[in-house]
Amino acid sequence: MNIGEILKIFDELYPFDGKCFLNYQTPWQLLFATILSAQCTDDCVNMVTEKLFVQFPTLQDFANADIHELEKAVFQTGFYRNKARHLQGSAMKLLKHHGGEVPSDISLLTALPGVGRKTANVVRGHIFKIPSIVVDTHVKRVSNRLGLVRQTCPVKIEHELMEILPQSHWISYNQQAITHGRQVCFARKPKCDICALKIQCFSIDGHAKT
């Protein structure tokens, strides 16, 4: 495993532009979009939030929303009942305990309804520019196949990657690994024959544990 070579190839393949895959205008909108992204594609979330943030333009609107209307608005993202309650609960807590501002501290973020370390780290990285590792299904799969980690637990993967990757690449690695997972390193039938990382890959046949 040559971490330096892997990062060099990633930088060449997917130059980091700092852009988030989710559309948002305010910190709380990114927080809510990321909550909705659980078990849902970013494209679907972006389609939903385009209307959602017009229907509920402020945190107070989410806090005061009829829960059934909110459920209807996020229905397409799946698990809509839980997600609607997470959004409303987070809005209430942000207004009551944080003056309507999204905190940067990970313990405060993960204390919000529906917010785990993945969601918290998305917000910390994109809003506050705090180096953070975001472990989604693509980062998990790509990191295991490249031999960077040997874990299935997202929290353990996060901490292992923090130990072996230079902090300057934490945020860019998130985006690059996700992009590589979406375009080349599929869960099923990965395009190993065209992969620029096949020499570095721990499992060229695509059958490593994911």
Active site members: 118, 136
How far is residue 204's CA from residue 89's CA, in Å, rounded to a whole number?
Answer: 44
Find tokens 């990970």 and name the residue.
Answer: 106
Residue type, 158: E
Q: Is the dihedral of CA 127, 131, 135, 139 positive or negative?
A: positive
Alpha helices of 14-145 — where are they, by DSSP H? 27-36, 42-55, 59-64, 67-73, 80-97, 106-109, 117-126, 137-145
Please report, as a single letter, which amino acid is at residue 135: V
Residue 103 DSSP symbol: P
